[in-house]
Amino acid sequence: MKRNRIGISILVLVMLIGMALIPAAGAQKEDNYSVTAEEAFKHANANMISFIAANTPGFENWTGASINPKPIELYDINGKKLFYQFSVYKENKLTGTIDVCADKTLGPSIYDIKFDPKPYKSAEVMKKSIEIAKSEYSDGKIKSTNLVVYSYPSIGAMTIVKDKTTGVEHRIFVDAYTLEEVEDKPATETEPGVWSMYDQILKSGKENNLKEWQKSDELAKSTEQAATNKGVNINAAVTEENIKKLSSDAIVLGSFTGKILDINGIGQERDVFCGPACIRMVCKYYNKPTPIPTQDQIYRGDGLWSWNPASIYTSGLSAGDIVKWATYRWGKTGTIATSFSNSVAISEIENNRPFFSMIPGHFRLCRGYIAQNGYTYLRLNDPLPVGSTYGNAGLLERTYGSSESTRIYVR
């Protein structure tokens, strides 16, 4: 059967290092819900201490690490400040990033933690965005240029330019890793584009989010106080000696449960291969079918579907394609879910079943969970960036207020 396919076009995931940025013009005005960089820094340190002291999976090698106190400010495409992204270094090597919410209405303070991130030069993408804006709108006036999360987890520069004659404003997006312009169009479940993470998180209202922020703020303060009582400065490098001092403290240790399945990450080989890359991860986990098909073989359907020639390598797979693959290649049932439960996610992992976690325009594979300090985090293998061979690197993303759009459970 031949059909036109509009699928998932994948924008390259990038990770940031703590380096100087071009100052943002027209930055967001602080209000009562704004979080300062100093507050965010304390939250990042307190949570890192808590994860390390609890021997949380993924943080085994973080002892001795320290956080750069100067974060990169990431904005939403709606212009609001979204995250402070802190870089974590160990022996002068970037070992992770911690994204702290810059607005209390977004819920708990820590949104995600990335392991072994791929750095890029933030100033370069900002400059590129301005250059394109000047080229495409030579008579326009540039109002602002900021680093934005334009399609989570993809990061880039957004320049807003105003037409001096008509007054119409235009947005120029440039991906921070590829330095290529990104089309300014709304993302859908199967079509790439840009979307507001801020608006997505606030769909259910902000009152509960504010309560969750307060809870996480109290946790950070109690952790800081417990460390101070033992003579530990949480803003300094996390030494083994300090961890020993803190590990017996119930407040700092928190309550940790979780499970991580042994599934190595696989980088996608093309922009539209996030689905095939995630399928291949699961093929290796099940060792089925054999031989393990390549990403290109999976993409082309291996007999399950066919492509209109014009759509090959320009469109990606859908959630329905994952279900078909599960049925005919793994002999399992794929179930598409659009409501999300921590208990279901935990049950899947406890029963040794990885599942697909989708956000608009992108597939990730969930291979584990961590429940600590009252919050549940998913351990995700993200196939971005294109061509990566990162093995176990990945993402720890909290489920409260998540930007997930779809899950596909395979049972």
What tens digit of pLDDT does each residue of 102-158 get? 999 999 999 999 999 888 889 999 999 999 999 999 889 999 999 999 999 889 999
Give the per-residue SS3 of 322-367: HHHHHHHHCCCCEEEECCCCHHHHHHHHHCCCCEEEEECCEEEEEE
Q: What is the pLDDT of residues 347-381, one digit of tens each?
A: 999 999 999 999 988 999 999 999 988 899 999 99
What's the pLDDT score for residue 44? 95
pLDDT of residue 309: 86
DSSP-derived 3-state class of residue 4: coil
The whole-number pLDDT of residue 409 equals 98
Q: For residues 302 and 254, which has the higher predicted lDDT (pLDDT)?
A: 302
* pLDDT exceeds 80 at position 167: yes
Query: pLDDT digits over 399-411, tens only?
Result: 987 888 899 999 9
Domain 259-410 -> CATH class: alpha beta
Stretch 316-335: mean pLDDT, rounded? 96
Q: Residue 282, CB half-sphere, CA atoms under 13 Å: how many?
A: 31
Determine what percent of the chain is predicted with pLDDT higher than 90.
60
What is the average pLDDT across 62-86? 95
Could you tell me if 115 and 265 are in contact, meaning their C-beta atoms sit under 8 angstroms apart?
A: no
What angle, 0 to 180 degrees and rounded to 10, lies between the N-to-C axes of helices 207-229 and 37-53?
Answer: 70
Give the H or E element holding residue 243.
Answer: helix 240-246
Q: Give the pLDDT band of residue 239 (cuts 50, 70, 90).
A: confident
Cβ atoms within 10 Å of 110's Cβ, excluding its own:
27
Q: What is the pLDDT of residue 4?
A: 35
Tell me whether the omega of the peptide bond preceding residue 108 falls within 30 degrees of 0, making it cis.
no
The model's confidence at residue 12, banded by pLDDT at 50, 70 and 90, is very low
The secondary element (H helix, E strand) that includes residue 72 is strand 72-76
Mean pLDDT for the stretch of residues 70-89:
97
* Domain coordinates in residue numbering, the chain: 37-120+201-254, 124-187, 259-410
Mean pLDDT of 378-405: 85
Average pLDDT over residues 41-56: 90
CB 15 within 8 A of CB 118: yes
CB atoms within 10 A of CB 212: 22
Predicted pLDDT of residue 183: 92
- When pLDDT is cut at 50, 70 and 90, the band that residue 19 belongs to is very low
- Comparing 160 with 247, the larger pLDDT belongs to 160
Q: Between these two residues, 302 and 247, which has the higher pLDDT value? A: 302
Higher pLDDT, 243 or 409: 409
Q: Torsions phi, psi of 45, nearest 5? A: -65, -45
Average pLDDT taken over every residue of the chain = 86
The model carries a pTM of 0.87
pLDDT for 230 beyond 60: yes
pLDDT tens for 271-317 read 889 999 999 999 999 999 999 999 999 999 978 988 888 888 988 89
pLDDT of residue 1 exceeding 70, the answer is no
